[in-house]
Structure 1
Amino acid sequence: MALINKYFWNLVTGFHSDHAEDQKKLFKLLKEWKERCEREKRGERTVKRFIGLELVAFLFKCTQNAIRKAGGPIGWEKLSEKERLARYNEMRMQVIRDIGQQEFGKLSDKEKEDVDFFLWAGCCMHKEMNAFKGGVHQMEQFWPEHSLAGPKKMYNRDNDVTVQKAPGTEASKRAEDITKGGAVKVASLCGAIFRHKDRKRGQQDTLRFFFDLELGFIISFPDTNNTRFQSHAEACAVLITYLDLFIKFLTFVKENKASRKLNHMEQNVWDGLHCNATRHEIVVITLYWLVVSVPYMREIRGPFREHDNILKLGNLHRRVISHLDKLIANPELIVGLDASWKEATLDGKMWERSEAFYGAQRYAPELPHLKELMVAFLCGARVTWLRFMSEFADDGALAKATPEQIERAWMESTNDLCESAFGMFRQDSKANPNISLEHYNARKMFKFNGTSEFLRKMGPEMRAFLRRVTRTQDASGANRQMKLHLAKHRQETAEKKLEKSRVRKAKENAAADALAQVIPTLTITELEYMCSLPRGAAGYATIAALDLQLDWHIKHGAVASISKKGPQPEPPSKLPVIPNGKQARGDREAKINLLRAAVESYLEHKHDRAPVPIQEGSTDAPEDEYSDKECLTVDDLEAYNEEVDSEDDYYQ
């Protein structure tokens, strides 16, 4: 089986996935595994040709390395026979890989590239989806960047009450921050109302009857409630096409209720459809869907596509960027009164839905920022397109591949097979909650491979044998063992995290206790005295002591601090800044300078602050804590000068 796996991975030339970081990491791991399998296979071919002294030297090297790794002959003798064999086999494979690497090094550069040829490609459907999201994000940023009132926010029921009843509070601010509005939000809410995933809820049937009465045909609202691909863009196209009818339909819904009121979600949709900024976004998304999204997908998986190999679609993606540049430079090609599909669409073909384009044209005169918003969306989409087409870079691995290699690494343009297989598994899991993955795979392979025809030709002895094998597999409890293994792994992971939390908490408590015992340095004189002491003397300012002093001033003093996540909000007055991280504070001299600035700031602002807790035994209490009897007088100073002749005498 191991040999089969090695040959299999040597034949693999491509990896197709979405653009998630974990998938890119998996590709790198598989590439390393492919190279490892190739080196092992190449090394094994070389070892098979060894005879005489070469073979003896190979076996001696394997044994010697295994003994050395075990800690020498004494450590090797302590191992059991099974452990020795396992270690020897491990070292043998390592030596074989080294030999394979040496043989690989003898190849030319072109031969090396051909041997290790392995390409990654990202699903084109995910490229378009992420580019759309990039455009939406840039469109949302357009309103605050130009100091314009953006789309009306659509609060849920609780946040709406919070904003109205408690304005200016933290709860109200949080409700504002997490609540969004705009075209995508309206499309999502419309999907929940006009095509709910639960047929017993929503207005989907009522909507069909209404459109049949008004137009003579029915429509099904795009399935945004299940986040289908391009469903939000298509929903915007439907909304702008029949905007008046949707508003009229909501009016009928309201009037047919006993309360004659829309519920909270329906009211949000009503407000969104009447919001001018939201209409801006609906029109922009509709136009982008018509000129880029739909034509692009026609090129990707349409019946008249030019290529079915994603590795040959580099020119198409470069054409997407060029087309976006053209539209950004001249947005009139889309939003102008004389806009035409011949110049506006990516493939130069007619609008996918002409009624949606003319619906957008109808409301365009009422949208003063349409052109600028369209450009912002296109710019955001362009940036994202470039980020998600990295495999087509001019200096990438694909650019260096030959036509023969590209054919060898043929891959679908989309990840539909995996997505559909996962969707079918979800549906089967709902219908059969206890079905195992092995059982599900067996069912699919039975149907896909035409196993029924094979079984009809099978004799009774073979059928009896297969039944015995099947019963043995069912009785093994392998599926249950796998689930228990996963549960155990999760439990171990949770315990490790809890242990890390306990250790971190203990360190924090120890640091807090150490900080509570600190006698702070609050005068420049004391600081200078600490710094003047020789190393090792009592009271010498060590790096650890300086860090504790700085930590005390961060907590109690008049300083600002900087964390790894960036600067914290500064107080109104200009204060010295001390990094929270000890390494970021520099060497001992730098920490002394920071402490000097902290002490000076403390002395400057101590009257503006609340009393600071001082550890017992400290001689440096705030000035306002001294009583009149404890204050120094001129006579005390004269006596002090008589007792101490100089500063040097004082320190001695």
Structure 2
Amino acid sequence: MEFPADKREFARKVRGMTTDHAEDQKKLQRLVEEWKRACDREIRGEKAMLSMAPETLIPLLVDESARAVEEVGGLEAWTALSEHEQDTRNKEIMKKISAHLGEECYSALSDDEKHATDLFVRGYCCMHKELNSVKGGNTKMVTFWEAAGLTGPIKLMNHDNAAAAAFGGSSAAQSRAEEVSVGGAVKTTSLAGAIFHHKDDKKGQQDTLRIFFEASSTVGAMVRFPDTSNTRYQSHCEAAAELLVHLPLYMEFLEMSSVHALCRGPESGSGNHLDLGPLHDKLKAHCCRVIEKPSLLLAPDASYELGSLDGKLWERPDAFYAVQRLRSALPHLQGVLVAFFEGALETWERFTVEFAPGGTISQLTEDQRNEAWMKSTNDDNEGGLGSFRVGLRQAPSMTIHQYNARVIYKTNKTREYIKTLKPIDHQFLRERARFIDSSGLEKSQRREQHEEDNRVVGEKRKKDKAKEEKSDAKRAKLNALTVILDVSRLTMDTITVAEIDLQLDWHRQFDTGKVKKIPMKRDLRLKAVKLNALREAVEHHNARPDPPTRVQTSAGDAEDAADSECEAGFDSEQED
């Protein structure tokens, strides 16, 4: 007699899961881990029930059944339930009993057995670590110019923003155009990618560029510019190197591309993700060395033995030497380089928490690492998603379960297996396929998704309304506030903490620069610190040639938004 496989056994055998760093994926990891443990307890409990004497099991069934009847409103309400509903609730009764008994069986295990049973390792894609380290480094590099009191890279505006900025005066449109426009390395490489490798092959100059390079006496081969229009591993770094190496062709992109070419990360390997902790520690230590001693990359005698992470030859030596040649024309290269590595280091620290000392991965034995083996990147999942999107373009009406069946059919080489089946098996498969196709599974899932979307939208509207009411109340309070602009009145004895906070909120509405002059409320804990910040805000306000005098927007909006971003965490960004 054949017994079907229990899908819960699959869950019990799961030893880990690797995803990207987004919060929804971290939640998915938690849910899978909970599912694994729940399945383990159920199976243990069911085995315990089979070995229990009737006089021990029956009281458990009676007690749990009584609770189930009470939950629906009594015996009459239970009797009124349909046969299907009663059957469903009876299964829930058995599930609860087995889970309870399974937990007792689990508690009787040794610590080593418990650890082996519950082993679940969370890994996060190394490709996304690299992507976000470049993003973090670039963010820090952008703030370097203002923090150092220097004029940074010019803003590269589109036609509409350029027209608004050239309008003159102090219009809101002009301010908005200048605020949303950016410059610098990533903007430059993005524009270069749009020209030399456009995502739409009917646009851009990619074909002309390849022909030009092939005909060039210095290159003599077709060059494919890196694809910066999509999120690609190191694409902007590669674009920066390409622009620098072929300087005569890319002169207009020169100055804002230099640092990225020095910051190429190591290529992702195909080994076990769980063995990469020491590599990431080495990488962060290398960032610290460059920050402390940028001459490792910028000195005339800089060498790959000390300047590269692995001590091996530069991945693209011509890019490194191109930066060396341009050093004298880039007076702030060292400051920008240090800022980039500082931002990259902060991001690496944030994105390598799974390897922290004392964490799950650091405590695994070699056997456990092999047992929970996982790839270093999440490329398979993302590649699968990309293939699914392509598949939908070719067959828009194809359902998800149909697509999954086709992919699994190819991946598992199901064709060979089907050849071994008997006619009765083929008949069963056809009947099962017709049942699934006619079950309305896809429509049911869409309905559930619609209901969930409505729930999320409803909750968001409630939060937005509450936030708007809070902003209106704060705006009204600030409109009625008597603003203190005399520094001599700001003493510890004459003003309370609540008054200081209100005065700071009034000044924050005009603190609109990228680098905030007034610290956030969460960073001002002591009254003396708050008072000092208020004095500086008043002095800055009085020093303006035309100091503002009225409330324009809710003073707490910017800080509330910043606080919400901090609470949400950096990972919700990307992701990706």
Provide the rounded CA distance (Å) in 2 between the counterparts of 1:453 and 1:367: 63
Matching of residue 287 in structure 1 with residue 225 in structure 2: no
1:276-298 per-position Cα deviation (integer Å, ceiling 9, x unaligned): xxx1x421110111xxx1xx215
Alignment of 1:462-481 (within 5 A): 463=426, 466-481=429-444
Distance verdict in 2 for CA 1:60–1:128, change over 3 Å? same
Alignment of 1:241-280 (within 5 A): 241-247=245-251, 270=252, 273=253, 279=255
Provide the rounded CA distance (Å) in 2 between the counterparts of 1:392 and 1:551: 46
Provide the rounded CA distance (Å) in 1 between the counterparts of 2:479 and 2:433: 69
Distance verdict in 2 for CA 1:25–1:218, change over 3 Å? same
Provide the rounded CA distance (Å) in 1 between the counterparts of 2:444 and 2:437: 12
Matching of residue 446 in structure 1 with residue 409 in structure 2: yes
Aligned length: 493
Distance verdict in 2 for CA 1:206–1:82, change over 3 Å? closer
Offset, 1:467: 4.2
Paired position in structure 2 for 1:581: none
Matching of residue 188 in structure 1 with residue 187 in structure 2: no
Match 2:393 to one of 430, 437, 447: 430
Provide the rounded CA distance (Å) in 2 between the counterparts of 1:551 and 1:316: 51
Matching of residue 344 in structure 1 with residue 302 in structure 2: no
Q: Is the 8 A contact 2:188 2:257 kept in 1?
A: no
Offset, 1:66: 2.0
Q: Is the 8 A contact 1:241 1:355 kept in 2?
A: yes
1:309-331 per-position Cα deviation (integer Å, ceiling 9, x unaligned): 11111111111122222222221
- 1:311 is paired with a residue whose SS is helix
Distance verdict in 2 for CA 1:495–1:448, change over 3 Å? same
Match 1:162 to one of 157, 161, 164: 164
* Structure of higher RCO (CA pairs closer than 8 Å, 6+ residues apart): 2
Distance verdict in 2 for CA 1:419–1:493, change over 3 Å? closer
Percent same amino acid among aligned pairs?
Answer: 38
Q: Is the 8 A contact 2:130 2:234 kept in 1?
A: no
Match 2:505 to one of 552, 556, 567: 567
Matching of residue 232 in structure 1 with residue 202 in structure 2: no
Match 2:11 to one of 9, 12, 18: 9
Offset, 1:235: 0.2
- 2:18 is paired with a residue whose SS is strand
Match 1:199 to one of 194, 198, 201: 201
Offset, 1:140: 0.8
- 1:342 is paired with a residue whose SS is helix
Provide the rounded CA distance (Å) in 2 between the counterparts of 1:552 and 1:246: 54
Q: Greater CA deviation, 117-126 or 84-93?
A: 84-93
Q: Is the 8 A contact 1:562 1:568 kept in 2?
A: no
Paired position in structure 2 for 1:589: none
Distance verdict in 2 for CA 1:70–1:344, change over 3 Å? same
Letter in 1 for 2:238: E
Match 1:376 to one of 325, 335, 339: 339
Give the aligned CA root-mean-square deviation in angstroms: 3.3
Provide the rounded CA distance (Å) in 1 between the counterparts of 2:96 and 2:248: 73
Provide the rounded CA distance (Å) in 2 between the counterparts of 1:571 and 1:125: 39
Gaps of 5+ in 1: 248-269, 302-307, 516-549, 573-608, 611-652
Q: Is the 8 A contact 1:65 1:91 kept in 2?
A: no
Distance verdict in 2 for CA 1:554–1:169, change over 3 Å? closer
Provide the rounded CA distance (Å) in 1 between the counterparts of 2:383 and 2:374: 16
Provide the rounded CA distance (Å) in 2 between the counterparts of 1:570 and 1:424: 48
Provide the rounded CA distance (Å) in 2 between the counterparts of 1:464 and 1:100: 39
Provide the rounded CA distance (Å) in 1 between the counterparts of 2:359 and 2:51: 38
Letter in 1 for 2:365: T
Provide the rounded CA distance (Å) in 1 between the counterparts of 2:387 and 2:342: 37
Provide the rounded CA distance (Å) in 2 between the counterparts of 1:328 and 1:190: 29
Distance verdict in 2 for CA 1:503–1:193, change over 3 Å? closer
Offset, 1:367: 1.0
Provide the rounded CA distance (Å) in 1 between the counterparts of 2:98 and 2:422: 45
Provide the rounded CA distance (Å) in 2 between the counterparts of 1:553 and 1:136: 39
Provide the rounded CA distance (Å) in 1 between the counterparts of 2:4 and 2:64: 20
Distance verdict in 2 for CA 1:463–1:45, change over 3 Å? closer
TM-score w.r.t. the length of structure 1 is: 0.69
Paired position in structure 1 for 2:383: 420
Provide the rounded CA distance (Å) in 1 between the counterparts of 2:76 and 2:442: 43
Alignment of 1:486-635 (within 5 A): 486-491=449-454, 493-494=456-457, 500=462, 556=480, 558=482, 567-569=505-507
- 2:122 is paired with a residue whose SS is strand
- 2:123 is paired with a residue whose SS is strand
Offset, 1:471: 4.1
Paired position in structure 1 for 2:290: 327
Letter in 1 for 2:241: A
Offset, 1:466: 4.1
Letter in 2 for 1:378: F
- 1:15 is paired with a residue whose SS is strand
Offset, 1:410: 0.6
Provide the rounded CA distance (Å) in 2 between the counterparts of 1:411 and 1:437: 26
Provide the rounded CA distance (Å) in 1 between the counterparts of 2:140 and 2:95: 53
Provide the rounded CA distance (Å) in 2 between the counterparts of 1:372 and 1:551: 41
TM-score w.r.t. the length of structure 2 is: 0.78
Offset, 1:563: 9.3
Distance verdict in 2 for CA 1:95–1:445, change over 3 Å? closer
Paired position in structure 2 for 1:31: 33
Distance verdict in 2 for CA 1:569–1:32, change over 3 Å? same
Provide the rounded CA distance (Å) in 1 between the counterparts of 2:41 and 2:415: 41
Letter in 2 for 1:569: H
Paired position in structure 2 for 1:410: 373
1:256-309 per-position Cα deviation (integer Å, ceiling 9, x unaligned): xxxxxxxxxxxxxx4xx26xxxx1x421110111xxx1xx215x24xxxxxx11
Offset, 1:221: 0.8
Provide the rounded CA distance (Å) in 1 between the counterparts of 2:397 and 2:140: 45
Q: Is the 8 A contact 1:309 1:411 kept in 2?
A: yes
1:112-147 per-position Cα deviation (integer Å, ceiling 9, x unaligned): 222111110111111111111111111111111101
Q: Is the 8 A contact 2:130 2:233 kept in 1?
A: no
Q: Greater CA deviation, 55-64 or 82-91?
A: 82-91
Provide the rounded CA distance (Å) in 1 between the counterparts of 2:27 and 2:458: 26
Letter in 2 for 1:416: D
Distance verdict in 2 for CA 1:126–1:508, change over 3 Å? closer
Alignment of 1:88-103 (within 5 A): 88-103=90-105
Letter in 2 for 1:286: A
Provide the rounded CA distance (Å) in 1 between the counterparts of 2:335 and 2:142: 12
Matching of residue 219 in structure 1 with residue 223 in structure 2: yes
Provide the rounded CA distance (Å) in 2 between the counterparts of 1:134 and 1:570: 26
Provide the rounded CA distance (Å) in 1 between the counterparts of 2:448 and 2:224: 45
Paired position in structure 1 for 2:348: 385
Offset, 1:246: 2.5
Letter in 1 for 2:353: S
Distance verdict in 2 for CA 1:90–1:413, change over 3 Å? same
Distance verdict in 2 for CA 1:134–1:502, change over 3 Å? closer
Gaps of 5+ in 2: 485-498, 511-548, 551-576
Q: Is the 8 A contact 1:14 1:119 kept in 2?
A: yes
